[in-house]
Amino acid sequence: MCLNSPPKTSEAPAITLSAERRGAVGVLDRMKRMLARGELSDLQFVVGRRFGTEKTFPAHKNIVCNSSDVFNAMICNGVAECCPLVIHFPDIPSEAFANLLSYVYTNSVEGINEENVFPTLHCADKFGFSLLGDICCEYIIKHVNADTCLTTLEKASRWSPDHAKIVEKCLEIVDTFSNEILRSKQFSSIGHDSLQMILQRASLSAKENIVYTAVNRWALQNCEERNLEPSAANRREVLGAALFLVRFPLLTDAQLAAGPIQSGLLLPTELRDIFLHKHAPEKLTLPFSTEPRGYRSNTTSGKTFTKLQKGTVTKAAAVTGTHGKLPVPASHHERMLALAKLANRLSSDADSSTANTAAAANINHPAEPYYGDTVYNPSPVRLKVVYGRDGMEDTTTHGLFK
C-alpha cells in the first residue's frame, strides 16, 4: 500500500456529474433565452402567410447553418454577408416552425400537439432533421386511435407521404375496427387516395356489403361536393378505379339485388358476369377480386394462425361465465394471438360434459370500450369473434382450431 496516495472517495464522481449536469442545463437555458429574445440576431424567418398567421422569427446564422446542411446551403450560398438576411416560408405554419427552431437551439421540443405535429414533421423532413422527424412519428403513432385514424391518414398523405409507419398504423386500426369506421360519417370525407388504400386491404374485418354501402355513400357525398347529379354514371366517375376494389362477388344474391342492382352502380354486363361467376360451372375472369377479406387472407398472420390450429387449442372448450379482460392489440394478428391464448386457458379448465356452452370474454380498448364474444364449440373448436360497439351484431369467424 502506498502511504502517499490520496485517500479514495466515492463522492467525487457524483460531484463531477452534478456539475456537468448543471453546466448542460445552463447552456440550454442560455440558448432558450437567445432564441426567445433574438438578441444579436442576423437572420429572420417570415413564415405562415398562406395560413393567415404570418410571424417573424429572429435567428442566428451561425447556429442555424451548423444545425442542418439544408440551412447551410440555403443561407451561405452567396448571401451570407447580407445582414439581416430575411427568408420567407409562406407555406409553413408558424407553430411548426417554432417547434423546429426550438429543436435547433435546444435539441428538444416541448410544443408538439395534435394540431401542429404533422406540419412539424413536414419541417423536419424539409430541412433534414431526422431525429425530430422520429419524435413526431412516435407522437403520432402513440396518439392515433379508432376515432382519429382517418383524419391522421389524410394528414399523413398531405404532410408526410414518405412515412409508411404512420400510414400502416392507421390502416391496421381500420382493419381492426372496420365496421365502426366504414359506417362513420368521417369515412365519406376522406380523399380518393385514402379510399383506395383502405379498399385494397385484404385484412378488413367488415363484411363486403358494409364495404359496398360505405363506398356508395362516399360516392354520393363526393357528387354533392362537386355539384354533380348523383347518377350512377357520376358516382362511377368520382369513384374511378376505387369501384373495382369493392369485392362485389362476395355479396349474396340478395345483397346484390338490394344494393348494386337497385343503385345502378354496376353495369348490366358486370352484373351478368358476377352472377355467371357465382352460379355457372365455369368461373369467369372478373375485374373484381373474389378473395374473402379478413384475418385468414393475411399471409403472415395466416402462417402463425395455422401453427395455432395445429397446437394451441387441442380439445373442446365448454365453459360458462366471464373469463377476464384483455387489452386489444393494434393488429389482427396480435389480437388473435391474445384470443388464442385465452381460448387455450379456457380449454384447459373446460368440463367436457357441458359442451356447447358459450364463454364471454371482455376485450377492452384503451381509448374506448369495445366488446367481443368468443364462442367455443366441441371438437373441432371454432373460435368466433363478434366485433362491435355495445352489442353490434356484425360477426366475423376468423378460423378453426383443430
DSSP 120-189: HHHHHHHHT-HHHHHHHHHHHHHH--TTTHHHHHHHHHHH-TT-HHHHHHHHHHHHHTHHHHHHSGGGGG
Return d(Cα 206, Cα 194) in angstroms, integer. Answer: 17
Residues 6+ apart with CB under 8 A from 17: none
> Is the peptide bond preceding residue 380 cis, with omega within 30 degrees of 0?
yes
Higher-confidence residue: 365 or 199? 199
Residues 70-82: tens digit of each pLDDT: 998 888 775 545 5
- Please work out, in degrees rounded to the nearest 5, the angle formed at the alpha carbon of residue 147 by the alpha carbons of 294 and 371: 55
Over 50: is that where the pLDDT of 376 sits? no
Return d(Cα 272, Cα 223) in angstroms, integer. Answer: 27
Give the residue extent of every domain in the chain: 33-111+119-128, 159-279, 297-401
Out of 133-137, 176-180, 354-358, 383-387, pick the least confident. Answer: 354-358
CATH placement of domain 159-279: 1.25.40
Mean per-residue pLDDT of the chain: 74
Closest CA to 373 of 320, 333, 329: 320
Over 80: is that where the pLDDT of 123 sits? yes
Out of 81-95, 173-187, 258-272, 346-360, pick the least confident. Answer: 346-360
Out of 92-106, 134-148, 353-367, pick the least confident. Answer: 353-367
Residues 156-180: tens digit of each pLDDT: 988 877 788 999 999 999 999 999 9
Closest CA to 259 of 247, 267, 251: 251
Return d(Cα 402, Cα 52) in angstroms, integer. Answer: 63
Over 90: is that where the pLDDT of 22 sits? no
Return d(Cα 212, Cα 245) in angstroms, integer. Answer: 10
Return d(Cα 394, Cα 371) in angstroms, integer. Answer: 12
Return d(Cα 249, Cα 315) in angstroms, integer. Answer: 36
Cross-strand partners of 326: 363
* Fold classification of 33-111+119-128 (topology level): Potassium Channel Kv1.1; Chain A (3.30.710)
Mean pLDDT value of segment 300-306: 30
* pTM, full prediction: 0.65
- Residue 310 backbone dihedrals phi, psi, to 5 degrees: -80, -30
The answer to whether domain 33-111+119-128 and domain 159-279 are alike in fold is no
pLDDT at residue 21, rounded to an integer: 53
